[in-house]
Amino acid sequence: MTDSFDDLRDLYQEVILDHGRRPRHARRLESFDATAKGDNPMCGDRIEVWVKYGPDGTIADTGFQARGCAISVASADLMAETVIGRSKADTHALFDAFREMARTGTCPHCDALAEPLERLEPLAGVHEYPSRVKCATLAWHALVAALDGGKEASSE
């Protein structure tokens, strides 16, 4: 760790470096109900997401395989951690809130989602790096495409 990158700590918080290095959910599910790929053609990042639903329709498990930067892998992992146990509707709402946070740094109308958003908050720093926002949202685009029955998503 060096002092000279201190001003990057808002972007590369320890939790991001940790999840980027050692993602917990980076695995293909053996059995799954939905899957989709995400692709950022500008930078070549790719992700594949798998989803397994529980009997009540909530997300029972999700996993991913990604080739991309620390931000995109960490975001995918934090996303998986956050959406397990949630309904499709909740996940959509969470995606909207997260996208707002990634773009602007805050989500003023997101009180109802305060608890899950807190877990994603380490990624809020990307809003200061416009070219990196898409890194953080790619996994979400893929997940939402899977939930909606799609096959491909792009972070464009």
Partner 1 sequence: MNVTTRPAMLDVARIREDFPILRQSIRGKPLVFLDSAASAQKPRVVIDAMREAMETQYANVHRGLHWMSERTTDAYESARDAVAALLNARDRHEVVFTRNVTESLNLMAHSYGRGVLQPGQAVVISGMEHHSNIVPWQLLRDARGIELRVAPITDAGELDMEGFEALLADGKVGLVSMTHMSNVLGTYTPAERIVRIAHAYGAKVLFDGAQAVVHRRVDVQALDCDFYAFTGHKLYGPTGIGVLWGRRELLDAMPPFLGGGEMISSVSYERSTWAEVPHKFEAGTPPILEGIGLKAAIDYVQAIGYGAIAAHETSLIDHALARLGAIEGVHILGRAQDRGGVVSFALDRAHAHDVATLLDRQGIAVRAGHHCAEPLMRRFDLESTARASFAIYTTQGEIDCLADTLMRVREFFT
Sheet of strand 34-40, all strands in order from the earlier edge strand to the far edge: 59-67, 45-53, 34-40, 152-154
Point out which residues bind partner 1 (CB under 8 A): 1-2, 4-5, 7-8, 11-12, 17, 21, 42-46, 67-71, 129, 132, 135
Nearer to partner 1, 47 or 49 (CB): 47
Q: How far is the CB of 2 from partner 1 (least distance, A)?
A: 5
Q: Which of 106, 134, 141 is nearest to 120 (CA)?
A: 106
Sign of CA dihedral 93, 84, 147, 136: positive
Q: Are 82 and 139 in contact (CB under 8 A)?
A: no
Nearer to partner 1, 45 or 77 (CB): 45
Q: How far is the CB of 47 from partner 1 (least distance, A)?
A: 12
Q: How far is the CB of 134 from partner 1 (least distance, A)?
A: 10
